[in-house]
Structure 1
Amino acid sequence: MRQNDEVRIQILATSDMHSRILEGEEGAYIYRAGTYINDVRTHYQNVLLLDNGGSLAGSIVSFYYAIIAPYKRHAMIKLMNALNYDASGISANDFKFGLDFLNRSVALSRFPWLSANITYAMTKEPYFSTPYLVKTFDGVRVAVVGLTSDKMVRHENIEMEQDIAVEHAVTASKRWIRYIHEVAEPDFLIVLYHGDRTRERHTVEGDVENQAQAIVKEAGIIDLIITGHQYETMSDYEGRTAFVQAGQNSEQLIHIDVKFRKRRNTNELLTITPKIVELESYEESQDLLKMTHYDRKAIRKWSNEAIESKNFQFSYPSFSVLLQERHPFIQLLSDAIQYAIPNDITCVHVPLPTSVDLEGNVAHQDIYHTYPHPDKPLDIALSGADIKKLIEYSAAKLIVDHQQVTIDAQQDPTLYQFWTGFDYTIDMSRPKHQRVVAFGLNETHSYRVTMTDYCYRHYRQQLKGVTIHQSATMTMPELIYEILCKSTSLQVEENNVSIIGYE
């Protein structure tokens, strides 16, 4: 075979970069990735640079651009434009701050965002207009189609549901991959799927369908599938399909070397050779650092702004401590949502699976690291029976360990609800879903409740026909900051929950 009969294409893939643009101790590897990407472009003619989504949420930087300074041009988009990304997939987390923020980011991008199963709610046409991309390298046609885990999107943002619909990823893949093969006739087809090859996120309903493997088995000819969200970097094969996971935060990236032999009328795929590139050894790109100098300076200035003359004590050593009596941290969360929507009954949850200290002199970054999600309070009407049902779901997550009540290690602690405004008792000696006794509300009456949209999103399948009266405009981190800035000290209410039957 003559050398000029061979075509080589270098595919570089990143995923879940989470807007990590603060260099140094914050571990922003995007600048090291920039050095590697430019080096590959220097040595190879045919380079395809892809991101698998998750670049717009997941760090204090993303929160800053979405909530604090939405009028500013997002520094992550500036970096991806400068690196000349060819396309990006879309993750569920990219919807975390709502459609307006995502649409603004897409509009500022010089590359397409691909998702074949995110559609307009009314017309069912692709919402981002470009579900796939075709590029030609020395006569070799490469198609890239994007898919997003529908299960993850459903739990991310309820306010966008009147505008978009999320088709089942496997169903959409069957239709679009068949269409692309018929119309574009690619020599090589890549799927950007933002979901996990080995697992999907556990939901309240317990649905853990593995969509990535189903796409490969059912959708038709796929040469390479790039998955995201699982935060691991790996390469493997599923039959003839190369499977790669592109990690997170650009700590590594995937470099796939694809070789073709040119025939008279076709191009024969010879080899697909993926490798994991560790970026720790590469220098940061000084050009990229210079580009974001003032962005990083502004973010750090805001992050370090502290609440003056306050010494707060809201930390908790373990989840079981929160169950023993009314805790100041739970009181802080309850006061925060009542500040936005002042109903007598509130429902809050811990924002992270693990405890994070919030004590001493508190700055914006401390609040963010304690509550990193843009959850918003909802004003919702629930019957007493609905409220009792939700409490039963929480009580079912509890276990007794060494004569102490705590949450089952197999359960997500962020889905446990802390209610205020009425008294109730949880009897651990009773069967699951029958543990709530001495319930202080009338089950046939309707009550106005302030709860986070996170709680509602994850439990709405158990709530039929409820009315949402309003959604607050401020997020929980902003509301916590407002409460902490008030001159009066936090008044912890008397404990309204009794847990019995375990001694």
Structure 2
Amino acid sequence: MRQHEEIRVQILATSDIHSHILNGEEGAQIYRAGTYVSEIRQREDHVLLLDNGGSLAGNIVAFYYAIIAPHKRHPMIKLMNALDYNASGVSADEFKFGLDFLNRSVALSRFPWLSANIEYAMTHEPYFSTPYFIHKIDDLRIAVIGLTSESLVKNENIEMEKDIAIERATISAKRWIRYIYEAEAPDFLIVLYHGGVSTSQRTEKEVADQYAHEILKNIGIVDLFITGHQRATTLEHEDGTLFVRAGQNGEHLVHVEITFRRRQSSYETLKIEPTIVTLSDYEEHPELLEMTRYDRKAVQKWKNEGIHGAKVDTCFFDFQELLLKPHPFIELLHESMGLHHQVNISCVHLPLPLSKGLKSPIQHKDVYDAYPHPDQLIEVTLRGQVIKTLIEKSVAYLQEEAGTLKLSQLDPTRFLFWKGFDYTIDMSQPVHQRVTQMSLRQDYTYRVTMTDYCYRHYRQYLKDAPIHEVSKQSMPELMIERLSSSEPIKEAQQNMYIVGY
């Protein structure tokens, strides 16, 4: 290319598709994205297609291909390969089903997965090979680097800690971007960051990721910064950087047209024109639909299959119902835990903030809707004093309003329901001194089975607790097995007594 000649490049970016591949369902816009991408490629010579992560989890399709049929290729990988994605970022959701599932998905991908700050725990080398790639158009060089929110990944999966480490995104980004400029001399640099960010209102409350502001201000020269894990789809310019929030569920696609001019030995950026594309304005791509026809049939068949066990009614209307007396939904969770584990003491939580229970007739999709997370069981040994501390932390946000018990501030999924011993909570006592009676001795140790969700969110109090076993089966699988039994759910016995209100 001769000096002063111009070249136009189209950057197309999606984010947080969350495995929505069932055409007709809300969020299944990947087929419409395929139509738009095909149209752009037909009329433009230089197209770079990127995803910002969040494609492998968050939907019943993802659950089916990770848990129920892990031997099958994930249809999202098939679609992304067919669309010829150039690269994908990595979100915390990618770790939801464990490293084996993620590694298999990455191995079947014909595009790189990029994250500079996810490393091997032993060597601290990038886990996903080189965390950047250089897209070349003649001698124009566009660098793309991936970053992942460390705070989100750290809280996703405890079993992977022996294998991977998550470095602070700012530190990793500064090191790798410096290296990219020194070793690759790119003409344009794109960052794929899966985490929260706000450039117009930088308050701790409004910034989803606590380090996002620090990342944006300290990583060096960035031309295009694409973020995920946010509902909004927005475009902003600040200090020479175009900030793009790529939205959720593939509802939109961000199209950035960049015009470069050739200098003697490099390129200058003449113009950047970003556009938010509403994918609902486009038809679904027929070839992509055909490609996933049998994948969609398999999911539909499984999700609509009935579970033919004893009749159950574990429905409830509000959180107070679970506090005042033993509830069959909580008992169902405890009994599901005990199917393959000798459980004397168990600890469960609500799977969703607005959980409503289950009632016959039940299909597989009903169980997924009630418990969509692949939580696994962890067996640990805890001292009675530690168990008391966990209860105190859990009930600290209980408050009485007009004779009704409610949770203030605490996410309802963080409230712990115990079985295997009796305890009394006195609401008239000061916070963290409410457990006035417990049938366990505080100086004894006890074997406890809990979900890894409970463990992760209270792990600061469990630092010295030895882990004996981590189950391979998820809670939804165990619930399906329990609900398939002809044995009715046992009538739960009162063991949590709340007084003084």
Q: Which TM-score tier does this pair reach, normalised by the shorter chain?
A: over 0.9
Q: Deviations over 1:271-328 (max 9, x none)?
A: 3222211111100000000000111111111111101265431222111221111111
Q: Tell me the equivalent position of 2:302.
A: 302
Map 1:137-176 onto structure 2 (within 5 A). Answer: 137-176=137-176
Note the C-alpha offset of 1:406.
1.3
Q: Does 1:102 align with 2:96?
A: no
Q: Does the 8 Å contact 1:115/1:131 carry over to 2? A: yes
Map 1:136-285 onto structure 2 (within 5 A). Answer: 136-198=136-198, 210-285=210-285
Q: Deviations over 1:441-496 (max 9, x none)?
A: 11110000010011101111121211111111110000001111111110122211
Q: Does 1:72 align with 2:72?
A: yes
Q: Does the 8 Å contact 2:3/2:263 carry over to 1? A: no
Task: Using the TM superposition, name which of 43-52 and 303-312 deviates more.
Answer: 303-312
Structure 2's unaligned 5+ residue stretches are 200-206
CA distance in 1, matches of 2:211, 2:188: 21
Letter in 2 for 1:130: T
Letter in 2 for 1:337: M
Secondary structure of the 1:491 match is: coil
Q: Deviations over 1:246-269 (max 9, x none)?
A: 112211111111222222222111
Q: Deviations over 1:169-217 (max 9, x none)?
A: 1110110111111111111111111111149xxxxxxx97532221121
CA distance in 2, matches of 1:462, 1:357: 30
Note the C-alpha offset of 1:138.
4.2
Note the C-alpha offset of 1:4.
7.1
Q: Does the 8 Å contact 1:348/1:417 carry over to 2? A: yes
CA distance in 2, matches of 1:198, 1:41: 32
Letter in 2 for 1:371: Y
CA distance in 1, matches of 2:273, 2:442: 62
Q: Does 1:14 align with 2:25?
A: no
Q: Does the 8 Å contact 1:376/1:472 carry over to 2? A: yes
Letter in 1 for 2:58: G
Q: Tell me the equivalent position of 2:443.
A: 444
CA distance in 2, matches of 1:208, 1:78: 31
User: What percentage of aligned pairs have identical amino acids?
Assistant: 57
Q: Does 1:420 align with 2:419?
A: yes
Secondary structure of the 1:466 match is: coil
Map 1:374-389 onto structure 2 (within 5 A). Answer: 374-389=374-389
Q: Tell me the equivalent position of 1:345.
A: 345
Task: Using the TM superposition, name which of 232-241 and 249-258 deviates more.
Answer: 232-241
Q: Does the 8 Å contact 1:310/1:361 carry over to 2? A: no
Q: Tell me the equivalent position of 1:393.
A: 393
Letter in 2 for 1:112: P
Q: Does the 8 Å contact 2:149/2:209 carry over to 1? A: no
Compute the TM-score of the two structures, normalised by the length of structure 1.
0.95
Q: Does the 8 Å contact 1:423/1:440 carry over to 2? A: yes
CA distance in 2, matches of 1:208, 1:265: 41
Q: Deviations over 1:199-240 (max 9, x none)?
A: 9xxxxxxx9753222112111101111111123211112322
Q: Deviations over 1:323-373 (max 9, x none)?
A: 111111111111111213222111000011112452121111110111001
Q: Tell me the equivalent position of 1:42.
A: 42
Note the C-alpha offset of 1:78.
0.2
Q: Does 1:467 align with 2:476?
A: no
CA distance in 1, matches of 2:231, 2:356: 21
Note the C-alpha offset of 1:40.
1.1
Q: Does 1:430 align with 2:416?
A: no
Aligned residues: 493
Mark the CA change 1:423 to 1:122 in structure 2 (over 3 Å): closer, same or farther.
same
CA distance in 2, matches of 1:340, 1:348: 16
CA distance in 1, matches of 2:79, 2:356: 31
Note the C-alpha offset of 1:243.
1.1
Letter in 1 for 2:303: S
Secondary structure of the 1:340 match is: coil
CA distance in 1, matches of 2:417, 2:271: 55
Map 1:76-91 onto structure 2 (within 5 A). Answer: 76-91=76-91
Q: Does the 8 Å contact 2:309/2:483 carry over to 1? A: no
Q: Does the 8 Å contact 1:98/1:160 carry over to 2? A: yes
CA distance in 2, matches of 1:268, 1:210: 34
- Let me know the Cα RMSD of the aligned residues: 1.7
Q: Does the 8 Å contact 2:51/2:87 carry over to 1? A: yes
Mark the CA change 1:86 to 1:356 in structure 2 (over 3 Å): closer, same or farther.
farther
Mark the CA change 1:413 to 1:238 in structure 2 (over 3 Å): closer, same or farther.
farther
CA distance in 2, matches of 1:397, 1:143: 48
Letter in 1 for 2:435: V
Note the C-alpha offset of 1:428.
1.8
Q: Does the 8 Å contact 1:133/1:145 carry over to 2? A: yes
Compute the TM-score of the two structures, normalised by the length of structure 2.
0.95
Q: Does the 8 Å contact 2:146/2:191 carry over to 1? A: yes
Letter in 2 for 1:472: S
Q: Tell me the equivalent position of 1:490.
A: 489
CA distance in 2, matches of 1:501, 1:258: 66
CA distance in 1, matches of 2:270, 2:324: 64
Q: Tell me the equivalent position of 1:204.
A: none
CA distance in 2, matches of 1:333, 1:275: 47
Q: Deviations over 1:117-161 (max 9, x none)?
A: 111111111111020011122432110101111111111111111
Note the C-alpha offset of 1:400.
1.8
Structure 1's unaligned 5+ residue stretches are 200-206
Q: Does the 8 Å contact 2:197/2:208 carry over to 1? A: no
Task: Using the TM superposition, name which of 101-110 and 11-20 deviates more.
Answer: 11-20
CA distance in 2, matches of 1:116, 1:91: 12
Q: Does the 8 Å contact 1:377/1:451 carry over to 2? A: yes
CA distance in 2, matches of 1:276, 1:211: 26
Note the C-alpha offset of 1:88.
0.4
CA distance in 2, matches of 1:187, 1:166: 29
Map 1:43-58 onto structure 2 (within 5 A). Answer: 43-58=43-58
Secondary structure of the 2:36 match is: helix
Q: Tell me the equivalent position of 2:319.
A: 319
Q: Tell me the equivalent position of 2:204.
A: none
CA distance in 1, matches of 2:180, 2:90: 19
Secondary structure of the 1:430 match is: coil
